[in-house]
Amino acid sequence: MSVGGKVAVITGGARGVGAATAQLLVDKGARVAIIDLEESQVVFDRGSASVLSLKGDVTDANDMAVAVEKVLDHFGRIDIVIANAGVAARGSTVRASSTQVNDRLWDINVGGVFTTVRACLPSVIANRGHVVLLSSVFAFLNGAGTLPYAMSKAAVEQLGRGLRVELASHGVTVTTVYFSLVDTEMIRRSVDSDPTAQKLLGTLPRPFRKRITPAEAASAIVGGVERRKARVFRPRRWAGVSALRGVVGMVLDALQASDATTQAMLRELDRRDGEGRLTS
C-alpha cells in the first residue's frame, strides 16, 4: 500500500511518536489530519496543505464524530487511521492504585482507541484502507507494578485481532504495533523520573531494555502500513518473545515471583497508596 496521496488520521499526533509518524507520512506524500486534546501543541505549520490540525477528545464519541466530519470536509476521504493517543500512569500495585487514575487511563487507552477506530471506519472501509493500533510488549509481559497500563494494551491487542477478522471481507487490513520503551516525554515522566520503576525495569534482561527513538517508531508504523503487516515489533527481538509467550510468559512469571529485587520494588510501590498520576 503506497501512502502517497492517501489521507491518514492520527490521534495524539501533536508530539512524540504521533508527531514523528505524521511527519514521515507527509514526507512520503500523504495528507494527515492530527487530532489532539490540546490543539496548541500541534507542531505542524497550519498553512500546510498536507496537514489539518484539530482539537478533539478521543474519549468523547461526539467530539470524534465532529472531528472526523471536519477531516472528510477538508480532505474528502480517510484511508488510514492510526489510534496513537494513549497515557501511562506512575507505577503502583493494585492495592496502592488510584481508582480515578485507573478509570481515566482505561477510558483513553481502550475506550479512546475503540471510539477513534469506529468513527473513522465508514470511510476507511469505503477506501479499502488500513487501521493501526498501538499496543505494547506489556500486552504479553507480566504487568506487575503497572497493571492498568498492561491490561489496557492487552485489550488493544484483542481489538486488533478481532478487527482483522471483522474487516477482512471489506478489504481493510489492521496492524497492531508492539513497542517496548520509546524515548518520549511520556516515558521520561512515568519511568525516568521514578527510581522504583527504573529498578523494576532493570530486572529485565539488558537486550530487552533497549529504547527506540520516535523516528524509529514512526518508521516501523509507516512500514507496517505500506506492507499491510498484521503485527510490528520494535525492537524486533520482541517478536520471538510474543511467538513463544505461552512458555516464556510462565518462566518469566515464576522468575519475577521469586526474584528478591522485583519483590522489594513491588513492596515499595505498595506504599504509594493511591498517589498515581497519568502521563502523556
| The predicted structure's pLDDT at residue 172 | 99
* Averaged pLDDT score across all residues of the chain: 91
On whether the pTM is more than 0.85, the answer is yes
The C-alpha cell at 83 is 489510534
- Cell numbers at 110, concatenated: 481502550
| 149 in catalytic set | yes
Burial of 177 (0-12, 13-18, 19+ CB in 10 A): buried
Distance of CA 128 to the CA centre of its chain: 23
CB atoms within 10 A of CB 9: 30
Whether omega for the bond prior to residue 195 falls within 30 degrees of 0, making it cis, is: no
Write the pLDDT tens digit of every residue in 47-99.
478 999 999 999 999 999 999 999 999 999 999 999 999 998 888 999 999 99
- Hey, how many other C-beta atoms are within 10 angstroms of the C-beta on 135? 25
Distance CA 37, CA 237 (A): 33
Q: Which of the following is catalytic: 149, 178, 179, 233?
A: 149
The CATH superfamily assigned to 7-279 is: NAD(P)-binding Rossmann-like Domain (3.40.50.720)
The 10s digit of each residue's pLDDT in 138-185 is: 999 999 999 999 999 999 999 999 999 999 999 999 999 999 989 877
Please answer whether residues 178 and 242 qualify as being in contact, where contact means their C-beta atoms are separated by less than 8 angstroms.
yes
Angle at 33 between CA 136 and CA 25, to 5 degrees: 65
How far is residue 131 from each of residues 123, 193, 202, 229, measured CA to CA in Å? 11, 33, 34, 10
Q: What is the pLDDT of residues 182-193, one digit of tens each?
A: 987 777 777 777
Smallest Cα–Cα separation from 110: which of 148, 56, 166? 148
β 88-89/278-279 pair status: antiparallel
* pLDDT given at position 277: 62
Domain ranges of the chain: 7-279
